[in-house]
Structure 1
Amino acid sequence: MNVPHAIRMHETGGPDVLRLEKVEVGDPGPGQVRLRHEAVGLNFADTYFRSGLYPMPLPAGMGVEAAGVVEAVGEGVTNVCEGDRVTYTGFLNTLGAYSTERLIPAAPLIKLPEAISCETAAAMTMRGLTSSYLMRRIYDFKPGDTILLHAAAGGVGLIVAQWAKLLGLTVIGTVSTEEKAAIARAHGCDHTINYSHEDVAKRVREMTDGVGVNVVIDSVGKSTFNASLDSVKRRGLVICLGFTSGTLSNFDPQILATKGSPYLARPALADYIADPAEKADLAAELFGHVGAGRIKIEINQRYTLEDAAQAHRDLEARKTTGSSIFVI
C-alpha cells in the first residue's frame, strides 16, 4: 500500500465495525515521529476497544502495538533518530497501530536490537513486557514454586511458561483442546489440564498433594475465576490478567476469607512501564532472552490489515495459538 491506510471505527460493536480507510499522514510535530510500520500486533485487548468495554472517543483508530522504522522526527525528539527500528505498546497514547504508517509520540518507542525482527517485536512487545513484569515484579518467585497458568497456549501463556522454566518453576497450564495441550507442553508446561472436560481445581490439588499453587495467572476471567481461587494455596496470589470469557460481576471480597486468604491482583501493564527506567529494564531482559533463543516467540497467525475483522473473529472464537500479527 503506497497510500497510507488505517483501520478506523466510527462506532463500537462486532468485528464488522472495523473499516480499512485511506488516511493522511503529515509531518511530525514536537515530540512526535512519523513511523512506517512493518508489522502490527493483534491483542485481545483490541476487542475491548472495539466492543466499547474500553471507552474511547470516536471515530478512532485501532490497535496499540506495532514495530517499524522511524521515517522522520519532530522537534525535541532525542530518544530515537530517523532510520531507527522501534517497537511500542501502550494504551490510549498509542491507539492507532492498525495502520501502514502514522504519527506517534516518541516517548513510548523502544529501540530494537539487531537480533529482534519487527515481526517478532510486534508479536511480543505487549505480551513480552506483560510476561516480564509477571515473572520479575509482581511476585518473588523461588525455584520449586508452582504456578497455574490459564490459556497456556496463548501469546502470554507461551512466553510465561518458558520464562517460568528459566526460573525453576513448575508450570501447570490449562487449555481447551489436546492440540493446545501439546503446544503448551512443548513450551515449558510440566502438566496440562483440559478445562473442557476436567475439573481444574481438583486436578491442581491432586498434582500439588492438596496444597495448591503459589500463584495463579488468570487471563480468562469469569469462567475460570472460581477454579483459580480453589487452586491457589493458603495466602497465595491470584492474578486477574484479563477477561476473555467475561468480566467478574458482584464480586464479594469476603469470599477470599473462605478460600485460604489469598491475595488478589488486577495489574495493568501501563503501571509497570510508566517509569522509563523500569520499562527499559523489563525490555532489556525480555530482548536478551528472545535474542539468545532462551524464549521463542511463536507467530502462529499472520493477517493483512484487510483481514482485521476476520482476525478479531478468530481471536474471540479462541481459534488462535501463540501470537498473531498483521504483516504490512
Structure 2
Amino acid sequence: MERPDIPLPQLHAFVVLADELHFGHAAARLGIAQPPLSQQIRRLEDKVGHALFRREPGRVTLTPAGRELLPAARRVLGELADGLAAARAVGSGRAGRLRIGFSASVALTVLPGLLRTFRERFPDAELDIREMTTAPQIAALHDKTIDIGLLREPPATEEELGFRTVLTEPFVAVLPAAHPLAAQRSVRLDQLADSPFVLPPHDVGPQLHDQITGLCAAAGFTPRIAQRAVEWQTVCALVETGLGVSLAPASIRRLRLRNVAFRRLAPGTARTRVAVAWRKHDPNPLVAHLLTTVSPDAPDGP
C-alpha cells in the first residue's frame, strides 16, 4: 500500500479545525492567521481527493470524508506525541531498559536496597534482572548482554570495565551442625585442614576461589575439595548433608539452614568484596543514574 505523503502540520490543522468548527478560532489556537490555515486545509483536501469540511456562512461542518479521516488523524498525532515523550524520557535517562546481572549471594546483601532506591528515583525505567555468577557477568558485560553487574571479587585489571566496591564482609566457616568444631564460637582456619571442602568451581569466580585457597595456604594447608557447586546456597546444602565444610561470605548466614553452623574465623581479618561493574563508555544514561545510587565507599558487611 502506498504510504501517504501528508505533512504533520496539515493533519494538526485538520484536527484543530474539526474540534473548533470555526476557522477564526482554529487559527487563533494554532497561532497562525486564517489564510494560512485555509491553505493547509485545501492542500490536505487535494491529497485526499475530497472535501473534508462544508463551508457555509458562519458555519463549518465535517463532510463524511472528514468524519472518516478524523479518528485516524487523532491516532497518528497521539502516537507521535507518545513516541516523542518516550524518546525524551529515554534520552534523559528517566526511562528505558537496564539489564542487571547479579551473583546469588549479592541478593542477600546490597541488591534489594539498590533496586528499591533505583526504582524510587526512576519508576519508569524497565529493569531486566538476571542471576549469574561473576565470570559470566564479566563476559556478558563485554558482550553487551547486560549493562550492570553486581558481582563478588572483580578481576584486578579490566581496561573496558569500571568497578566500584559497594560492600566488604568477612568470611565464615560453614560446618555441618554435627561437626566437632560447630560447638565453638569461632574457628581457626588450620582446624579445617583435615576436613573435605565444598567450594564453587574456579571458572565461575576465579578471584574468590583463589582468595579462599590462598587463605588456606596461609594457614598451612591445601584444601581437599570433595564437591563443587556453582551457587553458595547449594554449597551450604551440600555441607548440611555432611559432604564437607566450606568458607563463605558472612552474608550466607542469612540462609539459616537448620543443620548448618556458621562460625567466625579467628582471626577474621580476611574480607571479600562486592562490586558494581559497568562498561566505562556505555551511552545508556540509566547506567550513570544507577551508579549515583551506590556509595563509592565500602561499608562493612555482616
TM-score relative to the length of structure 1: 0.27
Q: Looking at both structures, which has the greater relative contact order when contacts are Cα pairs under 8 Å and sequence separation is at least 6? A: 2
TM-score relative to the length of structure 2: 0.29
Rg (Cα) greater in structure: 2
More helix by percentage: 2
